[in-house]
C-alpha cells in the first residue's frame, strides 16, 4: 500500500485528539493503542520519505554544593 500525505495528516490529527480511530477516505481503522498508532505513523513517514526531527538531550548534573543562604 502506498501511503499519502492525507494518511499522515489523519493519523497525526487522531493522535493529537487522543482517539484511537482514524478515517482514511472511505475506510475507518480502529487501533489498539497509542503505541500502535505511533508505530504506524512512523511507517507512513518513512514511506513518504519524511524523517523524524532529531531530538537533542542534554544532561544536567549538580555536584552537591549549594551556597549557604543566611
How large a percentage of the chain has pLDDT more than 70? 77
Q: Kindly state whether residue 63 falls inside one of the protein's structural domains.
A: no
Give Cα 6 distance to the centre of its chain.
16
Mean pLDDT on 41-54: 86
Predicted local distance difference test score (pLDDT) of residue 53: 67
Total domains, the chain: 1
Residue 18's domain comprises: 5-48
Q: Kindly state whether residue 69 falls inside one of the protein's structural domains.
A: no
Q: Kindly state whether residue 20 falls inside one of the protein's structural domains.
A: yes
Is residue 1 scored above 70 in pLDDT? no
Q: Kindly state whether residue 59 falls inside one of the protein's structural domains.
A: no
Calpha distance 46→64 (Å, rounded):
44
Predicted local distance difference test score (pLDDT) of residue 25: 81
- Banded model confidence at residue 58, pLDDT cuts 50, 70, 90: confident
What angle do the packed helices 34-48 and 5-17 form, to 10 degrees?
A: 150
Predicted local distance difference test score (pLDDT) of residue 59: 72
Q: Kindly state whether residue 54 falls inside one of the protein's structural domains.
A: no
Amino acid at each position: 500500500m502506498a501511503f499519502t500525505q492525507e494518511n499522515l495528516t489523519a493519523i497525526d490529527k487522531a493522535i493529537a485528539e487522543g482517539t484511537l480511530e482514524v478515517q482514511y477516505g472511505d475506510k475507518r481503522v480502529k487501533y489498539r493503542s497509542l503505541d500502535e498508532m505511533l508505530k504506524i505513523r512512523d511507517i507512513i513517514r518513512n514511506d513518504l520519505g519524511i524523517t523524524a526531527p532529531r531530538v537533542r538531550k542534554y544532561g544536567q548534573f549538580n555536584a552537591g554544593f549549594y551556597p549557604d543562604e543566611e
